[in-house]
Amino acid sequence: MKYIKFILIVAATLVIGSCSNEKLDPNSIFPTESPERNAFDTWLLNNYTTPYNIAFNYLYKDNDTDQSYNVIPAEKDKSIALAIMIKHVWLEAYAECCGENFIKTYSPRVMQLIGSGAYNSNESMVMGTAEGGLKVMLYNVNAIDINNPYIDVENPYVDKTNPTKDLNYYFFHTMHHEFGHILNQKKNYSTDFNLVSAAKYKSTDWINLNDADAPKLGFVSGYASSEAREDFVEIYSIYITHSEACWQKILSDAVNGTDTSGRDAIIAKFNIIKNYFKTSWNIDITQLRDVILKRFEDIKTLDLKNLK
């Protein structure tokens, strides 16, 4: 035992001695200096990251994109315009209606912009995704016409072939749609919602249902007929981003002669949604709609080219 202890002591001494002669690199392996930022990066830091803890990524990053789609980066000038508009009609709309703490707490932590659309094998286009309540990805940014920001709040059935892209359809409705998913992941809605149109969801066949034909089946859009959770956020996002006249048109188009089942289904689901947001989040979605529509009007006078 004495010999073993002696050997251990000698070994420890050698190790300590060798360590004491080793020169450690005084530089940290972790970056400690602030990254270089251009004017847009600084604006994003001051308007997204600092107040809302949101990383707004406009540069293309492989790790933050879905590799199953063939897409291109977002153009910088289009990204600037979209960042200005999203801040005004989405972040600040919720802050005005629900309080700053609400949007600071529940907003996604990452927003990623993609220049082109993402297309599925069934020829449907992905306009946005929400991943785990943490990241929202927006596509087709390069289609934005900075000089003519077109927002349609009156027509529930957008003309997707129109070269002038409706920003409401491609971005603002999409943002509220994805944010609806995030809120649903935080607090569940009543399962009664799933039962209203349970027999009519179309899974992958929703692509063949035109938006204008959807109301008669009890849906506000073709995509809403894909499954219950998409139905929920489609009703929510379309309602709060369109006028009352537009909403009434959807309900009117849901009546087929003397058959009112389509309208009855939409109204039943809408009432569940309205109650969910009031009881779960203390949000009056009609009041929220008024705030959003007013902010849409403001976009006509916003400077989308210069950062302030």
Give residue 8's pLDDT: 47
Return the structure tokens found at 279: 């009881």
- Alpha-carbon distance of 81 to 302, in angstroms, equals 9
H helix runs in the chain, sequence order: 2-21, 39-44, 50-52, 76-86, 92-98, 100-106, 167, 173-186, 192-196, 228-240, 244-253, 261-281, 285-298
Render pLDDT for 50-104 as a digit per residue (tens, 0 to 9). Answer: 999 999 999 977 666 666 666 778 999 999 999 999 999 999 999 999 998 999 9
Task: Quote the pTM value.
Answer: 0.83
Kind and range of the H or E run holding 125? strand 125-126
The model's confidence at residue 7, banded by pLDDT at 50, 70 and 90, is very low
| Residue 16 lies inside a defined structural domain of this protein | no
Phi, psi of 129 (to 5 degrees): -140, 155
| Residue 7 lies inside a defined structural domain of this protein | no
Render pLDDT for 154-195 as a digit per residue (tens, 0 to 9). Answer: 999 988 777 788 999 888 998 899 899 999 999 999 999 999
| Residue 119 lies inside a defined structural domain of this protein | yes
Query: In which domain, by residue range, is 144 found?
Result: 39-301
Give residue 106's pLDDT: 92
| Residue 197 lies inside a defined structural domain of this protein | yes
| Residue 24 lies inside a defined structural domain of this protein | no
CATH number, residue 44? 3.40.390.70
How many other β-carbons are positioned within 10 Å of the β-carbon of residue 75?
16
Mean pLDDT of 22-40: 64
Residue 14, pLDDT above cutoff 90? no
Give residue 241's pLDDT: 97
Higher pLDDT, 204 or 254: 254
Kind and range of the H or E run holding 149? none
| Residue 308 lies inside a defined structural domain of this protein | no
- Alpha-carbon distance of 144 to 113, in angstroms, equals 12
Domain count, the chain: 1
- Alpha-carbon distance of 265 to 253, in angstroms, equals 13
Orientation of helix 261-281 relative to helix 228-240, angle to 10°: 80
Amino acid identity for residue 196 in this structure: V
Residue 33, pLDDT above cutoff 90? no
Residue 215, pLDDT above cutoff 90? yes
Q: Which positions ≥6 away from 301 have C-beta within 8 Å? A: none
- Alpha-carbon distance of 73 to 101, in angstroms, equals 32
| Residue 23 lies inside a defined structural domain of this protein | no
| Residue 28 lies inside a defined structural domain of this protein | no
Higher pLDDT, 258 or 132: 258
The model's confidence at residue 222, banded by pLDDT at 50, 70 and 90, is very high
Residue 18, pLDDT above cutoff 80? no
